[in-house]
Amino acid sequence: MSKTVLLKDVSARTGCSSALVSAVLNGRTGRIRASEAMRKRIFKVADELGYVPNRNARGLRMSRSFLIGALAANLSSSFVPEILSGIESRCLHTNYGVLLGDYNNDDELFERWTSFQGRGVDGVICIGKPASFKQCILPSPTIKCVFVGGCVGDKECGGVWVDRASLLRLAAQAFAERGHRHIAYLTNYSPAECDAWRNALLTYGIVAGPIRTCHNFFEEGVAVATTILQEHPELTAFFADSDLLGTAILAAARNCGKRVPEDLSVLGIDDSILCRISQPELASLRQPRREQGEKGAELLMQMLDGEPARDIVLQGELVCRASLAQAPENHSKS
């Protein structure tokens, strides 16, 4: 029979005190703090040793269920599984188990929330745009909430998201540094997002080219992008707010006889698998999806230990691939 791995075993292997190991694995901050390198080492050692906390014993002591709910729509999307993986990785060696609730409409969302309440979860991580959750979920004084993917604007709820404005600035910088001056934008976001894109370009003295909104569907994206390219032959760059729309632009460019990247540079957002299987490979802005899940779980556990709710804003990064290049010489200075 294999020996049960205890907290003191993780402590001995890492050379840290049991108090520090316990604080890290349970997501607590307070007076006991560890560097990021030490935190990663503690989680790595716990994983190597196969440490599993005794959730039932601690739950009886503290009158908690030590269950966390995770609510998410569209599990087939490129980002939700990675966020869930981050949540699981942070909860694996803590006292918390994770219950997953997926939904397809508002009624199902309300049913999942009610089910979580019935199971006595201590907290819930909501993945997606906060507006949809706030319309359907009844606030509960006994259940802490963290929203991953957007700002909820509620001081009682935590939030973890990627700064969209910083992504737009990254895109503007990537195009400007490569000499592009005629840039189109395909988006399914709000007018405020379009204004942020215009402002990002103005930082580099560039007036925004055509901006069109469409749903995040490939066929619709191809149709809209084809029309834009036909109406605006001066374009040398095209920005899409998703990789799916980015691949739609690649298809539209082929329809219009445009070579990518010789005639047209294309940039998406998400750094999904689509980028690596498209022809040419699609440049994209990577959002730290797994880290959002990890930070969301850590924040929720801290709130359950009595710390106040707060917001954590993460930054994206440019992943340069074959679809992004210098502007054609006859357009770069016009």
Say whether pLDDT at 132 is over 70: no
Say whether pLDDT at 146 is over 90: yes
Tell whether 66 and 135 lie within a shared domain: yes
Domain count along the chain: 3
CATH number of domain containing 263 = 3.40.50.2300
Tell whether 221 and 107 lie within a shared domain: no
Residue 320 Cα distances to 251, 282, 325, 329, angstroms: 19, 8, 9, 20
To which H or E segment does residue 146 belong? strand 144-148
Average pLDDT of span 268-293: 95
What is the residue-wise DSSP string for 38-77? HHHHHHHHHHHHT----HHHHHHHHT---EEEEEEE-TTS
What per-residue confidence (pLDDT) applies to 5?
Answer: 76
Residue 250 Cα distances to 54, 175, 219, 307, angstroms: 52, 17, 12, 47
Average pLDDT of span 248-265: 98
Residue 235 located in a structural domain: yes
Tell whether 80 and 141 lie within a shared domain: yes
66 vs 28, which has greater pLDDT?
A: 66
User: Phi and psi dihedrals of 313, rounded to 5?
Assistant: -110, 125
Q: Among the listed ranges 121-135, 254-268, 315-329, which one has the minimum average pLDDT value?
A: 121-135
Say whether pLDDT at 274 is over 60: yes
Residue 2 CB neighbour total at 10 angstroms: 5
Tell whether 47 and 133 lie within a shared domain: no
- Give the single-character DSSP code of 287: P
Residue type, 309: A
Say whether pLDDT at 299 is over 90: yes
Tell whether 169 and 283 lie within a shared domain: yes
What per-residue confidence (pLDDT) applies to 57?
Answer: 46
Residue 131 Cα distances to 15, 144, 153, angstroms: 45, 17, 10
Q: Among the listed ranges 12-21, 223-232, 298-307, 308-317, which one has the minimum average pLDDT value?
A: 12-21
What per-residue confidence (pLDDT) applies to 59?
Answer: 46
| 254 Cβ contact partners less than 8 Å away, ≥ 6 residues apart | none
pLDDT, tens only, 209-238: 999 999 889 999 999 999 999 999 999 999
CATH number of domain containing 26 = 1.10.260.40
What per-residue confidence (pLDDT) applies to 131?
Answer: 63
Please give the model's pTM, rounded to 2 decimal places: 0.74
CB 110 within 8 A of CB 101: no
Q: Which domain holds residue 176?
A: 164-287
pLDDT, tens only, 240-252: 999 999 999 999 9
The domain boundary, picked from 52, 69, 84, lies at 52
Q: Among the listed ranges 29-33, 46-50, 146-150, 295-299, which one has the minimum average pLDDT value?
A: 29-33
The CA-to-CA distance between both ends of the chain, in Å, stands at 75
Percentage of the chain lying above the pLDDT 90 cut:
55
Say whether pLDDT at 1 is over 50: no
The number of CA neighbours under 13 Å toward the Cβ of 245 is 24
Residue 92 Cα distances to 12, 175, 198, 216, angstroms: 20, 41, 43, 34
Q: How confident is the model at residue 103 (pLDDT cuts 50, 70, 90)?
A: confident
Residue 243 located in a structural domain: yes
Q: What is the mean pLDDT of the chain?
A: 87
